[in-house]
Amino acid sequence: MDMQDATRILVVDDSKFFSRIVTKAIIERIGAEVVAVETLAAARALLESGENKFHLALVDIILPDSSEGEAAEYLMQKRIPCIVFTSFYSEDLRKMILDWNVMDYVIKDTPSSLSYLVDIVERVHRNRETKILVVDDSKTSRQHVRGLLTGYQCQVIEASTAKEALDTLEASPDIRLVITDYFMPGMNGVELVQEIRKKLDREQLAIIGIASGVSRGALSAEFIKLGANDFLKKPFLPEEFFCRVSQNLRILDLFSKLKDMGIRDSLTGIHNRRFFFEAGSGLFSSAKREQLRLTAAMIDLDFIKQINETYGHKAGDIVLKGVADLLRRQCRMTDVVARYGLDSFAILAVNLADDSIVQFFDRVRRAVESQEFTYNGKTIKVTCSFGVCHGIRDSLESMMKEADDLLARAKKNGRNRVELSEIKPKNSETKK
């Protein structure tokens, strides 16, 4: 399921104050649509109208018309994953809640409860695209772990042997977590971890080792020292399992975020100048070696300074983000699109045909020109000037310099236009 799909969350709680702060926190964190009601009857009416679909429900155990968790049971019957609130805790209550097969429970009145709740909601939101590989020669054990993970909305793949697990990882490089038992025929769990770590490090894939309580005491240390991120001893509590899984996925998210911070522009979300030259150098070498066409374009926003002065810098940021998104959508998946300077962007494209260059970049120019941006109820329009260097030169830097010179010509000739380099015969591009 696409992470961009609208996530709809139902909050069932008779405390308007708690519902309000939960709703605000969820919207700010993940941008989900939140619907709040105060009673089981209101939730029932909402769902039975047939017009509302929810990905997740957050529900208080005690409501004016539901004093023993009937609301949670009803929502689970409707196949809506639930996280329940409770203002008190006891072992009997815990057992009752887990018997309902709810996703998790939150002690409502603790200071950290809101933060913990929103963390769970965000994790579930992310889990819709999270693939986890469960490796165990016992079908019963695999199904138990699968049931726990699917309850948290994860995509689960199973393997009954270490060899099957390695083949699965090869075929599905987007798997983010492996949960492996120790005792397996042929190759045990620790040996599997060693094989995995020959290709994938801890920042790319998390591994949790599992073994029964009768295993030797040093097994947990062996798992972790040889490459696992974590270890669980059977039997484990569902809450402990979910915490370990979420913790390891969260660490992977942090690694990914740190990596993105190095290659993405913080304002627009597209790649930055550093990434442009790192990826561009590889593209340039490939294009030169294989005698492919390479096109470098410099794009500058016209009169962005006037927009900042007239409407404020926040309006200018909205325009920059909007243009960046438009450029990304107008270009092909294989094109490199980056923010190059304060108000400029760059595009690097491979194998654009000679006779389609002007049409391609003029289509992008017209798309920017026709786009309207809104700030404080006011409509803002902007145009862009393009300098395009088409064909291999001595280096990527020389191509960007030529594109920049052409951009200056576009500015001088009236802006909102495309200036294209002379298209040289293909054979002349690769001659030394």
Walk along the chain (432 residues) and give the pLDDT tens digit of each residue: 334 456 889 999 999 998 999 999 999 888 889 999 999 999 999 998 877 789 899 999 999 999 888 999 999 888 898 999 888 888 888 888 878 888 888 888 766 788 888 888 988 888 989 999 999 999 999 999 999 999 888 999 999 999 999 999 999 999 999 999 999 999 999 999 999 999 999 889 999 999 986 666 688 889 999 999 999 998 898 888 998 998 899 889 888 877 777 889 989 999 999 999 999 998 898 888 878 889 999 999 999 999 999 999 999 999 999 999 999 999 988 899 999 999 999 999 988 888 889 999 999 999 999 999 999 999 999 999 999 999 999 999 999 999 999 999 999 999 999 999 987 655 444 443
Q: What span, in angstroms and rounded, lies between the C-alpha atoms of 220 and 291?
A: 54
Which DSSP category does 271 fall into? B
- Alpha carbon distance, N-terminus to C-terminus of the chain: 50
Residue 234 and residue 319 in one domain: no
Q: Are 80 and 53 in contact (CB under 8 A)?
A: no
CATH code for position 238: 3.40.50.2300
> CB atoms < 10 A from the CB of 334, how many?
10
Distance separating alpha carbons of residues 82 and 11, to the nearest angstrom: 10
The number of folded domains in the chain is: 3
Within-domain flag for 35 = yes
Which burial class, exposed, middle or buried, applies to 103 when counting CB atoms under 10 A from its CB (0-12, 13-18, 19+)?
A: buried
Which residue, of 91, 117, 143, is where some domain finishes?
Answer: 117
pTM above 0.95, yes or no: no
32 contacts 68 by C-beta, under 8 angstroms: no
Q: Under DSSP, is residue 136 helix (H, G, I), strand (E, B) or coil?
A: coil
Assigned domain for 268 exists: no
95 assigned to some structural domain: yes
Give the span between the Cα atoms of 279 and 281, in whole angstroms.
6
Q: Which domain holds residue 285?
A: 273-429
